[in-house]
Amino acid sequence: MASPLRRAALALLSSVLALGCAAGGAGRRHAAPPEVAFREGSVVLGQPDADLAAKSDQQLLAIGDAALASGDHARAAAAFDHLADLHPSSPHHAEALLRSGLAHRRLGHWEIAAERFRQLADGPRGRAADDARLLLAEALYRQGRRADARAVLDALVARADLPPDQRVRALADRGVIAIDDGDGDAAERSLQAAAAGMEATAREQVDPELWSKIQFHLGEVARARFLVSGKFPFFTEPSPGYHGLVFNDAFGPKGPFGNIQFIIRARLEGLRDVGPALSPFNAFLLLQGLETLSLRAQRHVDNTLALARWLKTHPAVAWVNYTGLEDHPYHQRARKYLRNGFGGVFTFGIKGGFEAGKRFIDSVKLASHLANVGDAKTLVIHPASTTHQQLSEAERRSAGVTPDQIRVSVGIEHIEDIKEDFAEAFGAKA
């Protein structure tokens, strides 16, 4: 039975992503760490680990497995290096080379990883060697050796016997390199060929992450074509307001911040030069409104309680539904949870039913007939003839809307003015 690391290594090899997954590291050359030396084209430990020297091949693999599982990639690399360099005749030598390369890949030791994958690629032909070539191309690319990486990938793509999934990965990687080279046509050809290869593959064999990367880089090519088309001088030409800064160079896809050029220019030049911001007077009004909000909110709830109590005793009113009234079934709960008042909206029933409700709404003068709530002025509405008129009588009642119901959103006017307006509306003639 294969060991856990063997299974992990094979899984990684079978799902190697396009070089675009790690494109951010391109162009940075990683020197080998001081404790590693090159001898006759092979990587050997400069100072062999005494703890590893007496270990068997199987023990070295197990030590590396455990180190990988715990995240100690340096320890894993040391174990696999020991087996790969000091036991070249071991039946596990190829496996050690692969695991060593993958461990150094995790550590960012791209020169060492490239050497390991090169040794595997020079071995017997087969799927494992071709996977090693794909990994070798990535390691070369990450060192900034794009021409060498492209040569490896070109050789793979030129082979008629290359399996379809490996061809797709090689084409995708070659497309990413072409993007870096500024060759949009070559990039588009390779990426389109990779996408076509994936579309021809059985659905269960498609790598969704690789597919996403291919589509992303195709979009990147399309964006680059737009930028060089001359249609967007706002981003591709020097900005006079910023001493000749080219926003696409500094904040575009090739910049250190990612493609944020649009929002940067919109915020920097838009806010500074055009001024889509509050005028001083509008800012004053906004601040004054916020600073007096608590005073107005308290006036709302105080007026509401006073109006509800007045309506409770008015001869034209059949009922009042407001939690601030002592006889409301939820009054005690409202007192527990609502410390500074009981809200600014309530309903009441007018004697005379549906027609009396409509007549009341038409007769108020201070209050406004509006469906919204929370205004500084008092708002009233008769739901049965307006917001809920399309419902049947049974549907309205199931929604809590009765023919005589009036909804009130109490404003901050003087309470006596509100009462007087309501009293006059109650006395209006049909």
pLDDT at 319: 98
CATH number, residue 401? 3.90.1150.10
For the packed helices 127-142 and 93-107, what is the interaxial angle rounded to 10 degrees?
Answer: 30
- For 205-264, the pLDDT digits (tens) are 556 777 676 776 676 666 666 555 667 787 878 888 788 888 888 888 777 887 888 888
40 and 62 share a domain? yes
Q: Are residues 216 and 236 in the same domain?
A: no
Are 162 and 17 in a shared domain? yes
pLDDT for the residue 229: 61
In degrees rounded to 5, what are phi and psi of residue 226?
Answer: -60, -40
Report the number of distinct structural domains present in the chain: 3
pLDDT tens, 166-206? 888 888 888 888 777 777 777 778 777 877 777 766 545 55
Residues 127 and 185 in one domain: yes
Residue 212 has a pLDDT of 74
Which pLDDT band, with edges at 50, 70 and 90, does 100 fall under? Answer: confident
**Residue 336 host element (H or E):** helix 331-337
Amino acid at 174: R
* Burial tier of 282 (Cβ tally within 10 Å: 0-12, 13-18, 19+): exposed
Q: Which of 224, 225, 162, 223 minimizes the C-alpha distance to 194? A: 162
Question: 54 with 23, same domain?
Answer: yes
Asked if residue 221 and residue 133 are part of one domain, the reply reads: yes
Residues 417 and 357 in one domain: yes
Whether 91 and 115 share a structural domain: yes
374 in the same domain as 270 = no
What's the mean pLDDT in 326-354? 95
Domain residue limits at 206: 4-227
CATH number at residue 159: 1.25.40.10
- pLDDT for 128 equals 82
Q: Tokens 């806010």 map to which residue?
A: 271
> Do 207 and 302 reside in the same domain of the chain?
no
